[in-house]
Every structure is written in structure tokens, then in C-alpha cells.
């Protein structure tokens, strides 16, 4: 009987350690995802600033070229400026879409880590229950039949 109690106690301690390890892993995964998301937001802002700067430089070059050619205010100049604005808007929208996708992936990873933790906890509890029932069955089988 003492062996059965020791086995059950060991099973409970083992399950507790497993649950704690899984919780720690889930917490670490969530922290890693938050750090990665923050870095991606910084990268997105930096890239957006770079794209806006490049558009300003291109606009200045177009205006300077138009002035040098004597076509200031022409339809060619207006079309070129419009094209630059469209290109910048497209680039920024694409970048925003990529940021949204990265955020969705990060949120999915956090959800996955939480579900894995719950699944592992349920498995550990089931293991303890199985150990208890197995030990009781062994102890019951070891008793002589009552007459």
C-alpha cells in the first residue's frame, strides 16, 4: 500500500512539474511574440519613413526637371506627380497589409501556445488519474478474496 501511495505522489509531483514547465514555455512564447511584434512595428515605421523620403526626393527631381525643361505646370508634370503619389500610396498600403499579416501570425502563435498549455495540463491530469486507478487495481488484485 505504501508503494501505491508513493507511486501516486510521484505521479502528482511529475504532473505538477510538467504543467509548470508547459506554462513557462507558453509564457516565454508569448513574450517572444510580443518582442517580435514590437520589432516589426519599428521596422514598419522605419520603412514607411524611408518610402515617404524617397517619394519626396523623386517629387523634387521631377519638379526640378520640369522647371529646367520649361514645362512647369504641364500635364506631363501633373501626371508624373500623380504617378509618384499613387506609387507611394500603393507601397504604404502594401506595407500595412504585411504588418497586419505579421500581427495575425503573432496572435495565432500566442493562441497556439495557450492551447498547447491547456492540452498538456489535461494530459498531465489524465496521467495522474490513470496512475491512481492503476495503483488501486493493483492493490485490489493483491488482496485475498473475502469468503
3-state secondary structure at position 145: coil
3-state secondary structure at position 71: coil
* pLDDT above 80: residue 3: no
For residue 113, being part of any structural domain is answered with yes
8 Å CB contact between 21 and 108: no
For residue 59, being part of any structural domain is answered with yes
For residue 147, being part of any structural domain is answered with no
For residue 41, being part of any structural domain is answered with yes
Look at 71 and 50; give whichever has higher pLDDT.
50
Summarize the confidence of residues 18-27 as an average pLDDT.
Answer: 82
Summarised one tens digit per residue, pLDDT across range 82-105 is 999 999 999 999 999 998 898 888
Summarised one tens digit per residue, pLDDT across range 76-85 is 999 999 999 9
For residue 39, being part of any structural domain is answered with yes
- The pLDDT value recorded for residue 65 is 92
For residue 51, being part of any structural domain is answered with yes
Look at 3 and 9; give whichever has higher pLDDT.
9
- Stated pTM of the model: 0.62
Distance (Å, rounded) from C-alpha 32 to C-alpha 117? 16
Domain hosting 120: range is: 2-142
For residue 62, being part of any structural domain is answered with yes
Grid cell in block for residue 66: 520640369
Q: How high is the mean pLDDT of the chain?
A: 84
* pLDDT above 90: residue 57: yes
8 Å CB contact between 19 and 124: yes
Domain count, the chain: 1
Amino acid at each position: 500500500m505504501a508503494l501505491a501511495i508513493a507511486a501516486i505522489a510521484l505521479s502528482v509531483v511529475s504532473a505538477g512539474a510538467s504543467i509548470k514547465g508547459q506554462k513557462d514555455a507558453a509564457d516565454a512564447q508569448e513574450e517572444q511574440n510580443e518582442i517580435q511584434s514590437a520589432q516589426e512595428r519599428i521596422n514598419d515605421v522605419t520603412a514607411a519613413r524611408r518610402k515617404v523620403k524617397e517619394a519626396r526626393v523623386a517629387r523634387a527631381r521631377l519638379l526640378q526637371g520640369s522647371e529646367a525643361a520649361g514645362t512647369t505646370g504641364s500635364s506631363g508634370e501633373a501626371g508624373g506627380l500623380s504617378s509618384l503619389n499613387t506609387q507611394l500610396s500603393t507601397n504604404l498600403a502594401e506595407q500595412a497589409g504585411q504588418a497586419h499579416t505579421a500581427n495575425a501570425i503573432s496572435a495565432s502563435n500566442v493562441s497556439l501556445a495557450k492551447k498547447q498549455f491547456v492540452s498538456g495540463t489535461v494530459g498531465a491530469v489524465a496521467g495522474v488519474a490513470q496512475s491512481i486507478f492503476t495503483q488501486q487495481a493493483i492493490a485490489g488484485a493483491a488482496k485475498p478474496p473475502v469468503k
